[in-house]
Amino acid sequence: MQRYSVFAVAREALRFHKGWQRAWRSPAPKKRYDAIIVGAGGHGLATAYWLGRNHGIRNVAILEKGWLGGGNTGRNTTIIRSNYLQDPSAAIYEKSRSLYETMSQDLNYNVMFSPRGVIMLAQTHHEVRGYQRTAHANALQGVTTEFIGPDRVKKLVPIINIHGPRYPVLGGLWQARGGTARHDAVAWGYARACSDMGMDVIQQCEVTAIRRDGGRVTGVATTKGDIACDKLGLVVAGHSGVLADMAGFRLPIESVALQALVSEPIKPCMDVVVMANTVHGYMSQSDKGEMVIGGGADGYNNYTQRGSFHHIEETVRALVETFPMISRLKMLRQWGGIVDMTGDRSPILSKTPVDGIFVNCGWGTGGFKAIPGSGWAMAELMAKGTSPLADPFSMFRFREGRFIDESVAAGVAH
């Protein structure tokens, strides 16, 4: 793999940039692999990466029906945090946050990780009590957070209105080491590292059937032919139920669209991420100056990746009271991603009723922040059959009553 550095950039500048190699190979699929990962988004690529790096499993194919990173990985608002209430959630998200800190060095690819900090606003007395509780839980979990008052919030976010007529800012849960990263770069960096380990990243290759011999997986049928494997990882977000149906089992998830939008670019005015759960909107400013704005998921099941007018109205209306300045901005673009939601709003990383098939899904509206930790846990589960990070998130917890209820604990699962 060609190593990226300031010296490489200078060298290629002198050669008119004609010496750069392709970041990853585009091979034809082989007849058989030790493991196949379906889904070349962040979670799927991270799973393949850690299979190779931590467990030495490198005869791996990552299959993608579209283009690499073209699903939710390229359609999110890039928030990274780990201040969750429940212990299993805090463990996997904190693992992920810590891996983001060294990702650029580990992959030799700049993912533009920006530990700018994340504030979750408390705008009701109920939220104040809830976030204080979370701060105490985080202290026991080893996750560094603190509850701050409205004056500190105003100092961190000068453009905020803390005296809103309906929902004044009463404080906030502050995680200084949270932040954002460049979503496309995360996928590209993992793809480049996987290709360098000899793995095959195969785009435009849709899985059309899953082959079984009795209760065990034997391979998949694709638009590029049949491919055999010993282990199969399904990491396809909102389409997880479709793949599970091919394999002959059902998942306790539903798929909905989650929408977001960005404003026209403006001068820097906000250098932290702010989440306002009472009104259900969140906002940060990108490196290009755009205000990145998101809100809640659609209230009905769908597979659309487009925006809708009602979302603009509901989300912006919710944020204008807290950030009056955005009322004067023009919208630049809007989009949607297909997210898969579980009943307790926590993910599924699990074995399945079919031997050799593993599933990683159910991240709902907050999957980007979990990419490296999710890949670490999923790879360990596929390699060893068990993982301390993944085991609490088994798909069978719903029939056993072992819920990890972040929807009640956090009020929102972003």
Q: Give domain limits for the chain.
A: 27-82+84-98+183-252+344-410, 118-179+255-341
| Interval 118-175: pLDDT, tens | 999 999 999 999 999 999 999 999 999 999 999 999 999 999 999 988 889 999 999 9
- Of the two residues 47 and 18, the one the predictor is more confident about is 47
Give me the sign of the Cα torsion angle 220, 337, 24, 349.
negative
> What letter represents residue 145's amino acid?
T
Given a cut of 50, whether residue 213 has pLDDT beyond it is: yes
Q: How far apart are CA 48 and CA 165, in angstroms?
A: 50
Q: What is the mean pLDDT of residues 15-44?
A: 94
Given a cut of 80, whether residue 33 has pLDDT beyond it is: yes
Is the CATH number 3.30.9.10 carried by domain 118-179+255-341? yes
Q: Are 264 and 332 in contact (CB under 8 A)?
A: yes
Region for 233 from its dihedrals, namely left if φ exceeds 0, alpha if ψ lies in -120 to 50, beta otherwise: beta
How far is CA 110 from its chain centroid? 18
Question: How high does pLDDT run on average in the chain?
Answer: 93
Angstrom distances, CA of residue 153 to CA of 77, 131, 159, 207:
21, 14, 10, 48
Do 27-82+84-98+183-252+344-410 and 118-179+255-341 share a fold? Answer: no
Looking at residue 411, what is its pLDDT?
45
| Interval 300-346: pLDDT, tens | 888 888 888 888 888 888 889 899 999 999 999 999 999 999 999 99
Q: Is 394 helix (H, G, I), strand (E, B) or coil?
A: coil
Q: What is the mean pLDDT of residues 368-396?
A: 97
Q: Which of 237, 245, 282 is nearest to 262 (CA)?
A: 282
Crossing angle between the packed helical segments 183-196 and 42-55, to the nearest 10 degrees: 40
34 phi and psi angles, rounded to 5 deg: -65, -35
Looking at residue 280, what is its pLDDT?
84
Q: Are 174 and 148 in contact (CB under 8 A)?
A: yes
| Full DSSP string of 350-375 | EE-SSBTEEEEE--TT--GGGHHHHH
Q: How far apart are CA 39 and CA 361, in angstroms?
A: 11
| Interval 250-305: pLDDT, tens | 999 999 999 999 999 999 999 999 999 888 889 999 999 999 999 888 888 888 88
pTM score of the predicted model: 0.95
Which position has the token pair 């809103």?
164
Looking at residue 410, what is its pLDDT?
47
Looking at residue 414, what is its pLDDT?
52
14 phi and psi angles, rounded to 5 deg: -70, -20
Q: Helix-strand-coil percent breakdown of the chain, rounded to 5?
A: 35, 25, 40
Looking at residue 237, what is its pLDDT?
93
CATH number of 27-82+84-98+183-252+344-410: 3.50.50.60
Q: How far apart are CA 364 and CA 256, in angstroms?
A: 9
